[in-house]
């Protein structure tokens, strides 16, 4: 391993994590704002089933920046997307390739795609497809001598280089390498028009004998070319890097990618987001690579074999580490609620892609988190890079593209499961905003660990009646720990400043969905039951330090009628002169008429339950999903504000609203009796605010808090970044008078 002369492993401050514009920087328009999120299935031909699997993986663009070109591997096609108006993309055609496209790059006249046609792991094959940009027809197919992965075009248009991976079979011998045949680098020479001149006899650069890890089986992953026509190639599984002179086809130098360490990060298999773990001397195993200038490049250290250091590294071309991000990507995921808790014991946020571009006077480095669904934007300083902004993406960001001359940054997101309501998207961001619009909620440092307070899946909120700057929130059963968070909402983004864990209850796990402030101190919590998971339906009386003082159950006759979706919001109220606690049942149970769900009214004085029926907008939303309740908040004068929503997101989202119901003169009935039906008034449509950032509209709007000075705050549940984007929206709808 090389004796690295300089190694910078930086911490990262809350002010930087927030990506909040301050001082002169705010006025210079140096931030990105998302202007569109385009679903890939809309590029399918007319008549195609919209549920057809489509992905956006590696993405490039025409020289004028007006057309995006990306790979759709399930369809074995290149997809063209018109972005003359980047806020309103439009399909511009598809080219069938007759094999799986692994990467694409675009020249002046042609698009070049690596196409995998391998029959098996032991018989890898593939070719370079040359596609005419005018006709979108394949005009040449050149044998690549193996299974292609990444492809790159030199700036002067003279060379196309393809990393030939010949990937391993992970089911063979537990995936241990070597597994021949070996990979290599393939080089095609281009004429002035951009056509390969050696289509029938590509130049091959062998890479065996370089790495300490499986030297007989190099597996090149990614390639990037600088202005001097030097190609840097990552050998991911081999934990190695090579620099190749494309003109001569010679390896100029090569070196190990080495190891990196990170402290105060989540590493437990349990679904916690606590920075209690560390990794030490883990092989970086870089995936994507991009040149910063003629002498330096950056790698995303995803790992795929035995490593993955959860960060990114800046190198010079001699193999010297100039900067290593350490725990920064992990901490960004934690502080922004984007940490993929299910992956904590594996590769965490899993940085995979990198891109570099000059915007204004600054060279910016973009690093994506495949599992955390975000891109971290850094300013190159020549030394330790300066964190600039956190960009939320759709699910599983893969390809990154900096279109600096057009002031655009593009992300290809590949996750697509129509049955689960998850679709692949292309996200477009425009440079020049005066401030970052995201995050809207962020956490401060946890004094127990020195890392940010980990959080996600905020499912209920309540305002502190004595402090206008303070509200409380809870996260649901996605996480192992049932927590009550304290939020400072005196400025935006709001900040999670502390938390307490529940303690002292009889259950192994609680599913917190609602929180209310008790007048005599402490909280009321609604814990959603789940019969199949043996979770009980609880109204919990809890002290301010999180100690459970009382577990209140529903009437047994009602529990017998229970379904999966149960207690959501909770609020302390005074109804017709009686102090009570009101809980919202999300959906109909077996004893409810179609289109009706319940509000439960609990009287702490005599420990009795009464119920009323709430009429849902419809049994189903327009897109076929269900409609239910997420939150209830007392307004005074016998009135309750209720959050009602469907379970659809994106373009299918239709019902995201706040209603007001009155119990003035209404007598709740015991279970088994006929329940009175409330009248409701829709007072707020939340969809315009929820779609304002031009991303995927989340389905779960779940929190409504009214501050002591009368502000109405709304939050969404991000599902713990589990088949969800991870975005948490937190916004101010105005004064409580809007609920009248």
Please count the other Cβ atoms lying within 10 Å of the Cβ belonging to residue 51.
Answer: 13
pLDDT value at position 14? 40
Judge whether residue 497 has pLDDT over 70. Answer: yes
Token pair listed for 276: 């209690």
Give residue for tokens 């006249």: 109
pLDDT tens readout for residues 222-275: 999 999 999 999 999 999 999 999 999 999 999 999 999 999 999 999 989 999
pLDDT value at position 340? 97
pLDDT value at position 5? 25
pLDDT tens readout for residues 81-99: 999 999 999 999 999 999 9
pLDDT band at 25 (very low <50, low <70, confident <90, very high): very low
- Where are the alpha helices (H) located in 486-577, listed in sequence order? 556-559
Please count the other Cβ atoms lying within 10 Å of the Cβ belonging to residue 155.
Answer: 13
Give residue for tokens 């477009």: 428
Judge whether residue 455 has pLDDT over 50. Answer: yes
Judge whether residue 1 has pLDDT over 80. Answer: no
Judge whether residue 26 has pLDDT over 80. Answer: no
Q: Which of 624, 509, 524 is nearest to 570 (CA)?
A: 524
Kindly state the average pLDDT of the residues 611-620.
Answer: 92
pLDDT value at position 231? 98
Kindly state the average pLDDT of the residues 528-548.
Answer: 93
Mean pLDDT of the chain: 94
189: CB partners within 8 A, 6+ apart: 158, 159, 196, 197, 198, 203
pLDDT tens readout for residues 162-191: 999 999 999 999 999 999 999 999 999 999
Percentage of the chain lying above the pLDDT 90 cut: 92
Kindly state the average pLDDT of the residues 282-300.
Answer: 98
pLDDT value at position 619? 78
CA–CA–CA angle 333, 337, 341 (5° rounding): 70
Percentage of the chain lying above the pLDDT 70 cut: 96
pLDDT tens readout for residues 106-163: 999 999 999 999 999 999 999 999 999 999 999 999 999 999 999 999 999 999 999 9
Q: Which of 289, 447, 306 is nearest to 353 (CA)?
A: 289
Judge whether residue 22 has pLDDT over 50. Answer: no
d(CA 413, CA 410): 10
Beta bridge partners of 314: 298, 323
Record the pTM.
0.95
Contact criterion met (CB below 8 Å) for 19 and 338: no
Pairing type for strands 441-443 and 494-501 reads parallel
Pairing type for strands 523-527 and 470-475 reads unpaired
Judge whether residue 669 has pLDDT over 50. Answer: yes
pLDDT tens readout for residues 457-486: 999 999 999 999 999 999 999 999 999 999
Token pair listed for 326: 């350490």
**CA dihedral sign of residues 300, 402, 58, 218:** negative
Judge whether residue 27 has pLDDT over 70. Answer: no
d(CA 564, CA 574): 29
């Amino acid at each position: 391993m090389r004796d690295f002369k300089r190694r910078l492993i930086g911490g990262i401050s809350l002010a930087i994590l927030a990506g909040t514009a301050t001082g002169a920087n705010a006025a210079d328009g140096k931030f990105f704002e998302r202007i569109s999120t385009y679903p890939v299935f809309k590029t399918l031909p007319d008549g195609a089933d919209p549920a057809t699997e489509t992905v956006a993986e590696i993405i490039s663009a025409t020289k004028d920046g007006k057309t995006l070109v990306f790979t759709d591997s399930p369809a074995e096609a290149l997809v063209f997307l018109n972005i003359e108006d980047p806020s309103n993309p439009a399909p511009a055609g598809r080219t069938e390739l007759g094999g799986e496209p692994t990467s694409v790059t675009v020249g002046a006249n042609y698009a070049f795609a690596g196409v995998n046609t391998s029959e098996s792991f032991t018989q890898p094959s593939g070719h370079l497809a040359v596609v005419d940009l005018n006709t979108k027809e394949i005009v040449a197919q050149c044998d690549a001598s193996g299974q292609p992965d990444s492809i790159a075009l030199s700036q002067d248009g003279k060379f196309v280089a393809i990393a030939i991976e010949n990937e391993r079979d992970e089911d063979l011998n537990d995936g241990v390498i070597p597994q021949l045949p070996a990979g290599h680098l393939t080089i095609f020479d281009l004429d002035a028009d951009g056509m390969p001149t050696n289509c029938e006899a590509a130049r091959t650069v062998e890479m065996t004998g370089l790495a300490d890890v499986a030297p007989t089986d190099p597996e090149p992953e990614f390639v990037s070319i600088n202005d001097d026509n030097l190609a840097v190639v990552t050998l991911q599984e081999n934990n190695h890097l090579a620099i190749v002179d494309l003109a001569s086809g010679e390896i100029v130098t090569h070196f190990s990618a080495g190891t990196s360490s990170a402290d105060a990060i989540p590493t437990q298999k349990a679904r916690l987001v606590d920075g209690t773990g560390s990794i030490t001397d883990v092989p970086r195993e870089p995936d994507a690579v991009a040149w910063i200038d003629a002498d330096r490049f950056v790698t995303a250290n995803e790992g795929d074999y035995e490593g993955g250091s959860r960060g990114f590294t800046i190198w010079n071309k001699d193999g010297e580490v100039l900067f290593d991000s350490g725990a920064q990507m992990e901490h960004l995921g934690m502080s922004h609620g984007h940490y993929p808790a299910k992956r904590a014991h594996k590769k965490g946020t899993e940085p995979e892609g990198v891109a570099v571009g000059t915007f204004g006077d600054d060279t910016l480095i973009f690093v994506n988190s495949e599992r955390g669904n975000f891109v971290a934007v850094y300013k190159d300083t020549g030394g330790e890079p300066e964190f600039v902004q956190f960009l939320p993406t759709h699910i599983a960001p893969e390809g990154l593209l900096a279109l600096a001359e057009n002031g655009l940054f593009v992300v290809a997101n590949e996750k697509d499961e129509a049955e689960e309501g998850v679709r692949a998207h292309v996200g477009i961001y425009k440079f020049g905003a005066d401030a970052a619009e995201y995050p809207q909620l962020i956490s401060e440092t946890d004094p127990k660990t020195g890392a940010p307070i980990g959080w996600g899946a905020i499912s209920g909120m309540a305002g502190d009646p004595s402090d206008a700057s303070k509200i409380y929130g809870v996260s649901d059963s996605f996480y192992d720990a049932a927590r009550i968070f304290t939020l400072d909402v005196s400025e935006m983004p709001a900040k999670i400043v502390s938390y307490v864990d529940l303690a002292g209850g009889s259950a192994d796990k609680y599913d917190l969905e609602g929180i209310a402030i008790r007048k005599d101190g402490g909280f009321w919590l609604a814990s959603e039951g789940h019969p199949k998971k043996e979770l009980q339906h609880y109204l919990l009386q809890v002290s301010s330090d999180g100690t459970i003082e009382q577990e209140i159950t529903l009437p047994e006759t009602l529990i017998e009628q229970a379904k999966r979706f149960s207690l959501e919001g909770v609020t302390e109220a005074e109804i017709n002169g009686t102090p009570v606690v009101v809980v919202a049942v999300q959906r109909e149970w077996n004893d409810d008429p179609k289109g009706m769900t319940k509000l439960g009214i609990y009287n702490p004085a005599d420990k009795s339950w009464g119920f009323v029926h709430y009429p849902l907008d419809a049994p189903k939303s327009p897109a076929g999903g269900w409609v239910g309740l997420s939150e209830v908040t007392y307004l005074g004068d016998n009135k309750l504000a209720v959050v009602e929503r469907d379970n659809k997101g994106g373009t299918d989202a239709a019902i995201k609203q706040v209603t007001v119901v009155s119990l003035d003169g209404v007598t709740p009935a015991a279970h088994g009796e006929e329940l009175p039906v409330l009248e409701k008034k829709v007072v707020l449509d939340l969809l315009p605010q929820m779609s304002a950032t031009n991303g995927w509209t989340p389905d779960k709007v779940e929190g409504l808090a009214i501050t002591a000075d009368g502000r109405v705050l709304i939050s969404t549940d991000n599902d713990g970044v589990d088949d969800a984007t991870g975005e948490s929206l937190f916004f101010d709808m105005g004064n409580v008078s809007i609920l009248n």
